[in-house]
Structure 1
Amino acid sequence: MQSKATLKRHAALVDRMSQAQGLDLEEQMLRGRLTVSDLEDAVLRCTGCSCPDACESWLAEQSGPAQGTPGYCRNQDLFDTLSRG
């Protein structure tokens, strides 16, 4: 089981990555395009990433909507799907 600190870190990364994609996860939930279970799965996928430090650096460099996610992002498909909608 992941530690509370790890889960919090990766939940924040998922949220920041979604914002970098121009997505509001709360709004996606209200529209029925994302469930709580989907979000939990996204955070758990993120905890399996071997590049969280690189992700934090990439996110810090973004000044506006990003054109996609880094190639190593385990939630790339989810963000792509939500962005199309």
Structure 2
Amino acid sequence: MQSTRTLKRHADLVDRMASTMGVDLEEKMMAGQLRPGQLGDAVLACTGCANPEACGHWLAAQDGVTEQGPDYCRNTDLFSLLKAGKRA
């Protein structure tokens, strides 16, 4: 089981990555495009990343909204679907 600290860290990375890709996760949940369980799954997928430090550096280097996340992001496909207005 993941520690609370780890889960919070990765929840923050997921939120920041979604925002950087132009996706408001709260808005998508309110619109019914994303269920709470799917958001939890995204956070758990993120915890499996071998190098979250690289993600943090990548996010810090972005200036505004980007079309695509880094290749190694386990949630890029999810965010791309949501950005296109589709259900996850």
Matches within 5 A, 1:1-85: 1-85=1-85
How big is the alpha-carbon RMSD for the aligned residues of Structure 1 and Structure 2?
A: 0.5
Query: How much does 1:71 deviate?
Result: 0.3
Q: How many residues align?
A: 85
Percent pairwise identity: 58
1:51·1:72 contact (CA, 8 Å) conserved in 2?
Answer: no
Q: TM-score, normalised by structure 1?
A: 0.98
Q: Which runs of 4+ in 1 moved over 3 A?
A: none
Query: How much does 1:67 deviate?
Result: 2.1
CA deviation vs aligned residue, 1:27-50 (integer Å, no higher than 9, x gap): 000000001000000000000001
What runs of 5+ residues in structure 1 fail to find an aligned partner? none
